[in-house]
A and B are shown apart, each in its own frame.
Chain A
Amino acid sequence: GAGVSQSPSNKVTEKGKDVELRCDPISGHTALYWYRQSLGQGLEFLIYFQGNSAPDKSGLPSDRFSAERTGGSVSTLTIQRTQQEDSAVYLCASSLSRPQGEQFFGPGTRLTVL
């Protein structure tokens, strides 16, 4: 079956612009996570959705970052007024259950803010 997909694969934007990153999880996976990896850093947790529960937004680095998950499936991560420090690879993962559940990662979106 299809894995986790993300779009776009690459995004170059100018400082101050808004960007939207999309994640299509594996069908039936109730948990969805967003992470980012900045150059030379580990994977940084951003936000977690589990079913219809309120998302855990504790990892979002600033109020310029927001995410939503529509119909318990597709998720969109929005970054407003992008800054150069937002440049990173943004990864989405989904799983059946957590925290023991194996996470299946998408290919990531490489965001470059000029």
Chain B
Amino acid sequence: ILNVEQSPQSLHVQEGDSTNFTCSFPSSNFYALHWYRWETAKSPEALFVMTLNGDEKKKGRISATLNTKEGYSYLYIKGSQPEDSATYLCAFTDTGNQFYFGTGTSLTVIP
């Protein structure tokens, strides 16, 4: 069983604050790291897929970095807005067939 850990488990921030979360994964047999956003009553939707050490991805105010050697990825949100409130999931895929999801970071942005 592979452990993918996310921290913090939950987070409350004020509108306008910047924030970041961590995803830790095994550094061996790495293939890809995925970030998803899961809003209440909706389906998870993909944010980023990263495959190379040092990868940085950006989509609007959200960005992510990847360190495959030490086994972590950071997700950053700049100037948080209430609509950013969701659970952010990361998933690790190795050279096998499975996706291993973390338990997520629940973000609440307070207006």
Chain A residues packing against B (C-beta within 8 Å): 3-4, 33, 35, 40-45, 48, 50, 56, 58-59, 91, 93, 98-108
Query: Does B43 contact A42, Cβ atoms closer than 8 Å?
Result: no
Query: Which 5 pairs across A and B sit closest by C-beta, in order of nearness?
Result: A43-B101, A99-B93, A42-B103, A105-B43, A102-B46
Residues of chain A contacted by B98 (CB below 8 angstroms): 45, 48, 56, 58-59
CA distance A48 to B100 in the complex (A): 13
Contacts A35-B101, A45-B100 supplied; 15 other A-B pairs, CB < 8 Å:
A40-B103, A41-B103, A42-B102, A43-B101, A44-B101, A45-B99, A56-B97, A58-B97, A99-B99, A100-B31, A102-B34, A103-B34, A105-B44, A105-B45, A106-B43
How many residues of chain B have a CB within 8 Å of chain A?
A: 23
Residues of chain B contacted by A58 (CB below 8 angstroms): 97-98
The dominant DSSP class at the B interface is strand
User: Using a CB-CB cutoff of 8 Å, which residues 42-85 of chain B contact chain A?
Assistant: 42-46, 49, 51
Query: Does A107 contact B101, Cβ atoms closer than 8 Å?
Result: no
Residues of chain B contacted by A43 (CB below 8 angstroms): 44, 89, 91, 99, 101
The answer to whether B109 has its CB under 8 Å from any CB of chain A is no
The answer to whether B13 has its CB under 8 Å from any CB of chain A is no
Residues of chain B contacted by A33 (CB below 8 angstroms): 99
